Amino acid sequence: MTARTAPQAAADKPEDLRRRVEARLKSRIANLEQISPEEALNLLQELHIHQVELEMQNEQLRQTQAELETALTRYTDLYDFAPVAYLTLDERGWVLEANLTAARLLGTERSRLVQQSLAPFIRPEDIKQFRDHLVTVVQDRPVPPLELNLLGKDGAEVAVQLDSLLVPDAAGHPQVRTSLIDLTDRRRAEESLAASYEKLRSALSGTVQALSATVETRDPYTSGHQRRVAHLVGAISLEMGFSQEQCDGMQALGLLHDIGKIAVPAEILSKPGKLSEIEFNLIKAHPQAGYDILKDIELPWPIAQPVLQHHERLDGSGYPQGLTGPDIALEARLLTVADVVEAMASHRPYRPALGIEQALAEISRNRGVLYDPEVVDVCVKLFTGKSFQFD
């Protein structure tokens, strides 16, 4: 029999070597006296090589097992201590798996959360939303994130955002992987921002009121004009379907529309008789003066252009630019009607009040000629159908 060298044996796969050695041993075990010393030596060498191969395999298995255990520990740590709460739910809403973050978020032990329904941890009025969300996910249909309130320790409400994904298990049963993002800090920041915004709005409103009052102190005969215009133009814009934010802007516009009169001498503003051409031209300059004051101020509404245009008329007969029709901003067209109605209904240094009836007759007569027809219709409706009154 030709002997196999150690390198040849080492090249074999361990299982092939083992089977070959076992076969040779079985064939010779009954006739040990027939095995030559050389063949016995070769068998011992092959057995030794086989033993070394097995030990190397065992060492590799031990290393692989250790690496897997390390990786599993790292994954478990990442999963359990992630900043986001994770749950795996079945189609009924029962918790199959949960990380420690989810348990802490809900103020309970993980052992009390797993294999339990999530429903007791959801605010009763949010249960239907949650179930609808779960059904949509299980049906594998697109579903947006869901914001609801969970019940934490001692029933304290915790605002969260749910993001869910359908991931069937190995047997094909539906499972829902859900992340819960704690919205507490975000809600707190939003509330703080809203409070700051409200303070800013209040400060802005106070500033607008102060500017309006400054103009009226120089023109005592028309005191309250801007405030009343603001009241009417706010009501018109609301009736026309403007948003609350837009209505607030229109009221601010009403309060500031005559701010340019601060550049007009007070004696001209309060002159009881007829104005000269020069004096009237000074009055006519107030829209441009108002625009120059407001154009560089950052306000949340369009103010400067409507102030510039509030004496323009649809047929081009207005001032200072002689604009026509759609070239006049919508805000200016609303302001124009409110300004004319209030001015005619109120006392002026050069004439007594003409009354609401004459004011409404004026805008109705020139509907579509001087004044925007839709704005005129809404204004007339406010006075005749909705009992609008100036303060």
Domains located in the chain, CATH noted: 6-80 (no CATH), 85-182 (3.30.450.20), 188-384 (1.10.3210.10)
Closest by alpha carbon to 257, among 347, 335, 327?
A: 335
Rounded Cα distance, 34 and 30, in Å: 9
Tens of pLDDT, residues 8-43: 444 455 566 666 666 666 665 555 556 677 777 777
Given a cut of 90, whether residue 75 has pLDDT beyond it is no
Closest by alpha carbon to 388, among 351, 344, 338, 354?
A: 338
Task: Report if pTM > 0.85.
Answer: no
Q: Is 156 helix (H, G, I), strand (E, B) or coil?
A: coil
DSSP state of 220: G
Mean pLDDT (the chain) is 85
Given a cut of 50, whether residue 6 has pLDDT beyond it is no
N-to-C CA span, the chain: 124
**Among 2-16, 232-246, 359-373, 375-389, which stretch is predicted with the lowest mean pLDDT?**
2-16
Residue 67: how many CA atoms within 13 Å on its side-chain side?
Answer: 6
User: Residue 221: what pLDDT?
Assistant: 59
Q: Is 234 helix (H, G, I), strand (E, B) or coil?
A: helix
Rounded Cα distance, 24 and 18, in Å: 10
Give residue 315's Cα distance to chain centre.
Answer: 44
Tens of pLDDT, residues 323-345: 999 999 999 999 999 999 999 99
Tens of pLDDT, residues 281-318: 998 999 999 999 999 888 888 899 999 999 999 999 99
| Better-scored residue on pLDDT, 321 or 20 | 321
Given a cut of 80, whether residue 280 has pLDDT beyond it is yes
DSSP state of 88: E
Token pair recorded at residue 6: 């150690």
User: Residue 379: what pLDDT?
Assistant: 96
- 94 and 131 Cβ atoms separated by less than 8 Å: no
Percent of the chain with pLDDT over 90: 46
Rounded Cα distance, 294 and 273, in Å: 31
- 179 and 86 Cβ atoms separated by less than 8 Å: yes
User: Residue 30: what pLDDT?
Assistant: 52
| Better-scored residue on pLDDT, 66 or 253 | 253
pLDDT class of 381 with cuts at 50, 70, 90: very high
- 114 and 86 Cβ atoms separated by less than 8 Å: no
> Per mean pLDDT, which of 4-8, 126-130, 210-214, 296-300 is the most reliable?
126-130
Tens of pLDDT, residues 79-94: 777 888 999 999 999 9
